[in-house]
Amino acid sequence: MVFVACGNSEKKEKLVLGNQVQSDKITITKAQFEGEKMAFGTLAEYDFNETVNVNGMIDVPPNNKSSITTLIGGFITKTPLLIGDRVKKGQLLVTLKNTEFVEIQQNYLEVVEKLNYLKSEFNRQKTLFNEKITSEKNYLKAESDYKSNLAHYNGLRKKLQMMNINPDHVEQGQISSTINLYAPIAGNVTKVNVSNGTYISPSDVIMEIMDINHIHLELSVFEKDVMKVKKDQKIWFKIPEASDKTYEAEVHLVGTTIDEQTRRIKVHAHVDEDKENFIVGMFVDAAIIVETNKGKGLPKEAIMKVDNDFFVLILEEKKDKEYHLEKVKLNIGKQTETNIEVLNTEALKDKQIVIKGTTMLLNNSESE
């Protein structure tokens, strides 16, 4: 260790390790130790996980998505929503206009009137038949006509209800040339494919709504790893393009078929942080924790990497104002985001280990 003058009159201590990092012995002063905010610690027990690394995307369940279509085609006359708008279940989405809507209601009214007549005729023929005044043929014909028309009536009535037209209003003479489409679920508008005046056929998707209150992960696991993945296993995942934060999830469902082309299987996971501002379609990197074992280790900050080897500094001797440290090579095992497993624990047993400040030592040596 040497001291380098800083400025003309004021001197300041600076760690200059140089080739000493490559040696086994290092000496620093107490002032340097405190100035670099270094600290001693010992081996500790940590959880070291065996993981399966996968990727996937943020998604929502199928029942949280809805594509809005129409039963019968028409021209858009009202579309008040934009992408991103929040809608409630049952809220008006669009209004369509078509002369065919009027014709269906007219047909319904005609069937209603005819049904009333056929019902009366059926009841009359039934009475006459029971009193043996009319023939069975006339009775059966009246019954057939009535029931056939009743089926037609029920079909048209159901069709009007599916078009969001109240059949009772039609029977009162209230015929409309427009129909309204309402939100089948609550959520956010994610797509709008129309504008006023657009003609929409039954095969066209007018807009899409997505409920993002239940976000989940759709992950792809390679065939070689799928036997390790089980329900309820913990998952750590990141969204590399948006944040460095690590989030938690849990395996909920493991697929039962493998994609023949990619040789992967789908895994559905529930996300713990439902309140995070996740967006459907975001790419994720994830690690499924398939096994957890206890092991002795150290914080990553305590470990110095030189070339392809890993080292720690242990306290060999403490004198009045100096710390004599020894560099010890490690055999490392599993790693987590914060800790590294140490396999040669006997070399560090009962030793005081520098667990903070080693990064500064290494940086200073490299800068020299």
Cα 353 to the center of its chain, rounded Å: 42
User: Measuring CA to CA, how many Å separate 199 from each of 97, 104, 196, 246?
Assistant: 9, 19, 9, 47
Same domain, 289 and 165: no
Q: Which residues contact 115 (CB under 8 A, 6 or more apart)?
A: 146, 149, 150, 153
What pLDDT is recorded for position 231? 92
Residue 62 is classified by DSSP as G
The CATH code of the domain that includes 273 is 2.40.30.170
CA 320/CA 337 separation, integer angstroms: 37
What pLDDT is recorded for position 362? 54
At which of 293, 324, 358 does a domain end?
293
What pLDDT is recorded for position 16? 40
Residue pLDDT, tens place only, 159-200: 999 999 999 999 998 999 999 999 999 999 999 999 889 999
What pLDDT is recorded for position 80? 86
CA 232/CA 227 separation, integer angstroms: 14
Residue pLDDT, tens place only, 285-294: 999 998 888 8
Same domain, 117 and 175: yes
Residue pLDDT, tens place only, 18-33: 334 445 788 888 888 8
Q: Assign 317 a pLDDT band (cuts: 50, 70, 90).
A: confident
Same domain, 240 and 311: no
Same domain, 115 and 240: no
Same domain, 77 and 184: yes
Same domain, 359 and 258: no
Same domain, 155 and 68: yes
At which of 185, 209, 233 does a domain end?
209
Q: Compute φ and ψ for 350, nearest 5 degrees.
A: 60, 20
Which residue range(s) make up the domain with 310?
4-49+294-367
The CATH code of the domain that includes 172 is 2.40.50.100
At which of 188, 209, 230 does a domain end?
209
Same domain, 104 and 202: yes
Q: Assign 11 a pLDDT band (cuts: 50, 70, 90).
A: very low
Q: Domain tally for the chain?
A: 3
Residue 225 is classified by DSSP as G
Same domain, 268 and 287: yes
Contact 235, 249 (CB under 8 A): yes
Residue pLDDT, tens place only, 220-260: 999 999 899 999 999 999 998 888 888 899 999 999 899 88
What pLDDT is recorded for position 361? 62
Average pLDDT in the 207-223 region? 90
Q: Compute φ and ψ for 7, nearest 5 degrees.
A: 85, -175
Same domain, 40 and 122: no
Predicted confidence (pLDDT) at residue 134 exceeds the cutoff of 50: yes
How many residues in total does the chain contain? 368
Contact 223, 117 (CB under 8 A): no
Predicted confidence (pLDDT) at residue 365 exceeds the cutoff of 90: no
- DSSP string computed for 176-211: -SEEEEE-SS-EEEEEE---TT-EE-TTS--EEEE-
Same domain, 75 and 164: yes
Same domain, 79 and 202: yes
